[in-house]
Amino acid sequence: KAGVTQTPRYLIKTRGQQVTLSCSPISGHRSVSWYQQTPGQGLQFLFEYFSETQRNKGNFPGRFSGRQFSNSRSEMNVSTLELGDSALYLCASPTRTGELFFGEGSRLTVL
Amino acid sequence: EDQVTQSPEALRLQEGESSSLNCSYTVSGLRGLFWYRQDPGKGPEFLFTLYSAGEEKEKERLKATLTKKESFLHITAPKPEDSATYLCAVQARDSSYKLIFGSGTRLLVRP
């Protein structure tokens, strides 16, 4: 199985706080994309980074942001948390043959 | 607007009872159609990518097919361990790795 690593796996925050999630893509690959999964909305695209540049962005408010470092690791940040931000946040990384592999996700609960 | 619709929402099968899951899509130029399996609390597990109408791919008891408007995931003689949510997603030609997901089909295979 491809090695997309996400940390932390679980976290609990309260409304108004901020959170930072981390993703390490498949070794040697420079593209990382982020998705939010909720029971009501399903899987929705947040943004994609390639070589430290945001290449695409989904329809989410500015409280959701991300960045990518020179070693391809990526972080996403959500500021001023709301109850509706409770979700499974997934990171994905493509292989050279175009397959897109997901990590196990970070489960965020906002109280 | 790019859109993916999966049916049925839920499917219950007896072990050994073959069936098909449907994924209908509209996209402004298809680059790839992806199938994933997702177990509760885990990230989606990559199954197949299909690129052009008429293409078919197989893996164990699963076979995916693609037409210009829909894809089918055929499950032959399923086993209880095939129980999961199956997700379909499309990638448009100009969207890098932004996938548009359907809401999934929850499959339960009873022994």
**pLDDT tens digits, B22-68:** 999 999 899 999 999 999 989 999 999 999 999 999 999 999 999 99
Per-residue pLDDT, B85: 98
Per-residue pLDDT, B108: 98
Per-residue pLDDT, A98: 73
Per-residue pLDDT, B26: 95
% of chain A at pLDDT higher than 90: 84
The verdict on B96 touching A (C-beta cutoff 8 Å) is: yes
User: Are A81 and A16 a contacting pair, CB within 8 Å?
Assistant: yes
Per-residue pLDDT, A96: 75
Task: Give the list of residues 6+ apart from residue B76 with CB closer than 8 angstroms, or none.
Answer: B18, B61, B62, B63
Q: With a CB-CB cutoff of 8 Å, which residues 12-41 of chain A face chain B?
A: 31, 33, 35
**What is the Cα–Cα distance from A58 to A36, expressed in whole angstroms?**
10
Per-residue pLDDT, A1: 45
In this prediction, residue A99 has a pLDDT band, given cuts at 50, 70 and 90, of: confident
Per-residue pLDDT, B97: 81
Task: Give the list of residues 6+ apart from residue A61 with CB closer than 8 angstroms, or none.
Answer: none
Cβ distance of A100 and B103 shorter than 8 Å: no
Q: List, for residues A46-97, the tens digit of each pLDDT value.
A: 999 999 999 999 999 999 999 999 999 999 999 999 999 999 999 999 887 7
Shortest alpha-carbon distance between residue A60 and chain B (Å) = 14
The verdict on A60 touching B (C-beta cutoff 8 Å) is: no
